Structure 1
Amino acid sequence: MAHNRVKESCSDQAVYYLVTNRVAGGRMLIKDQEKLKLKELLFAGCARFSYQVIDYVFMDNHFHLLIKIPATAEMSKVELLERYRLHKQNDEINFISSIQRNDFREKIHDISFIIGNFEQRFVQWFNKEHSSWGRLFGQRFDSEMIEVSAQSDSLLRVMAYISLNPVRAGIVLDPKDFHFCGYSDRLAGGDVGKLDHEFFDVFCRGIEAHVTRDKQKHFREVLRAYMLGLRCYKNADSKTVKEYLLTESSSLPEALQWDDLFIHKCRFFTKCLVIGSEAFVREKLAKFSGKMKWKRIHEPYTEAEWNDIYSLKPRRRRASVG
């Protein structure tokens, strides 16, 4: 059954999405071989389409991806043609018109097309590998637009949620020990961490760094602190992450055992369309509410423990009286 999806088509700014899907019936079908294939297909797609992988985790019955869609205006005609030829597997093919070129540009910046192609390729491989047929995933994937700005720590909260999946599942005590997630990948110098320096100015206030490698290092320290339970630090009176790491990291247990793991497990992160500050959620609500055929009223939603992070969810029905 088709469901609503909030999508931006931006020519001058990047858009970030949390993407989730699950195997039909919750079956544990994604073993190590399947996880390796998912990772291979995910990063291979970056060359054909226009997206970058910020984070990921592959579990036995589901996956989470954090995807950045760059601004459409950033891609030159030469690069666009290269991706078109890769997609068509033809080194000599050309666009027949500017309309076709523009349509392809929009398509490879569309989260529905990107993830649909990724899932289709994996299911085709899976069915061939296991001599099976039919659907593998239970439904269309869920996607949530994520705010990335100095006004919200939504990105860090989502990345912590993704990284802690194998911890919540009891597979490891620390995500650095789980091979199929972005956190261990970035610590090993994989492709998934190459963009970490882009978040330095947004999330590493109070820390000095000038070269890319140092910016990447400090951002990963911030992410680590979030996984260990650090909340955001929004004002001048707040402890900086550098001070936090110097004064408290030595006393923290190696295993990630902080009290509010259950908060990250809630469906807040996977069924809510938009995640960010209240202003960001209200902006998207105003922009998209007229286009959506919602049967229930949607509005910004938060809880006290979520540290000023809001989602766009349907209003809860009031219990009947009498």
Structure 2
Amino acid sequence: MIHNRIKEKCADQAVYYLVTNRIAGGRMLFKDREKYKLKELLFAGRAKLSYEVIDYVFMGNHFHLFIKIPPMSHMDDVELLARYRLYKNNDEVNFINSKQKDDFKEKIHDISFVIGNFEQRFVQWFNRVHNSWGRLFGQRFDSEMVEVSHQSDSLLRVMAYISLNPVRAGIVTDPKDFFFCGYADRLAGGGVGNCDNDFFDLFCRNIVAVGIKDKQKHFREVFRAYMLGLRRYKNADSKTVREYLRTESNLSAEALQWDDLFIHKCRFFTKCLVIGSEAFVREKLAKFSDKMKWKRIHKPYTEDDWNDIYSLKPRRRGNPAG
């Protein structure tokens, strides 16, 4: 079913999205070969379009991506032309005029174009390799705008939701052992994690770090502690978490209980429009309500034990607010 999508033009600030799509009919068509290709295309696309991969997981019949769209103001004309030539596969092509340049710049910062390009390239490859034709995905991808700030645990919660997919599916007992996910990629020094030093500044305050590598290491330890179910600690910079990391972060995979799997499985993530603090959700609600022309009432929604994380999802008229 066609659904509304909330997205920003990200002129002067980065915007983050959780993206999900599934194979039509739930068929388990993503084998290792397909997952390798998905990963290849996802990271190769960064050279042509403007996005960064914060996290990802490729399962047998669906994928989740956590994507950062950088501010358009951070891209100068030299970089823009280089991306345009890669996109056109022509080292000599130039923009015809300023309008074409501006249109291309806006397009490569648009989450719809970024994911549409990624999916189209994969479907073309899949159909060619498998001698098939037609649609592969059941519908348009879902996307949720995610707040990334010190005011909300949304970043950590969304990353945990993504990383724990193969654990929930019973494939591994620890996400570090699943090759086709961002968590294992991070630990192996792969293509994700470039923003982890920025996330350290948001979520690991009062933890001493020297240099970017140290920041990345500490953020990953805090994130692992978060996945281990430390829901009772509202902030990742608490002394309790620091003490935990110092004394218990070497637990074996067999000892991990992942006691928050049920909460992470909630459709709270993939069937809403915005994820963040109540203030963030209300801001987007006020900004986009008229444009979306909703027939149902939309209000910030949350559940118990969500550390004050809210979503924006449809509410039927007459129902009490979440």
The 5 Å alignment of 1:161-176 reads 161-176=161-176
- Letter aligned with residue 160 of structure 1: A
TM superposition score normalised by structure 1: 0.95
Matching residue of 1:303: 303
Matching residue of 2:119: 119
Alpha-carbon distance, 1:307 to partner: 1.4
Q: Is the 8 A contact 2:175 2:184 kept in 1?
A: yes
Alpha-carbon separation, structure 2, partners of 1:64 and 1:206: 32
Q: Is the 8 A contact 1:58 1:181 kept in 2?
A: yes
Range 123-132 or range 197-206, more displaced: 197-206
Matching residue of 1:291: 291
Q: Deviations over 1:101-144 (max 9, x none)?
A: 00000000000000000000000000011000000000000000
Alpha-carbon separation, structure 2, partners of 1:266 and 1:161: 9
| 1:77 partnered with 2:108 | no
The 5 Å alignment of 1:216-295 reads 216-231=216-231, 233-234=233-234, 238-249=238-249, 254-295=254-295
Alpha-carbon separation, structure 1, partners of 2:119 and 2:146: 21
Matching residue of 2:201: 201
Alpha-carbon distance, 1:151 to partner: 0.5
> For structure 1, which runs of at least 5 residues remain unmatched after alignment?
none
Q: Is the 8 A contact 2:15 2:68 kept in 1?
A: yes
Matching residue of 1:96: 96
Alpha-carbon distance, 1:318 to partner: 5.4
Q: Deviations over 1:232-269 (max 9, x none)?
A: 74579943432121244456864542333111111101
TM superposition score normalised by structure 2: 0.95
- Letter aligned with residue 121 of structure 1: R
Q: Is the 8 A contact 2:207 2:237 kept in 1?
A: no
C-alpha change, 1:192 and 1:13, in structure 2 (3 Å) is same
C-alpha change, 1:56 and 1:255, in structure 2 (3 Å) is farther
Alpha-carbon distance, 1:167 to partner: 0.1
- Letter aligned with residue 46 of structure 1: R
How many matched pairs?
319
Secondary structure, aligned partner of 1:193: coil
Q: Deviations over 1:47-78 (max 9, x none)?
A: 00000000000000000000000000000100
Alpha-carbon distance, 1:86 to partner: 0.5
- Letter aligned with residue 161 of structure 1: Y
Secondary structure, aligned partner of 1:145: strand
**RMSD across aligned C-alpha pairs, in angstroms?**
1.8
Matching residue of 2:211: 211
> For structure 2, which runs of at least 5 residues remain unmatched after alignment?
none
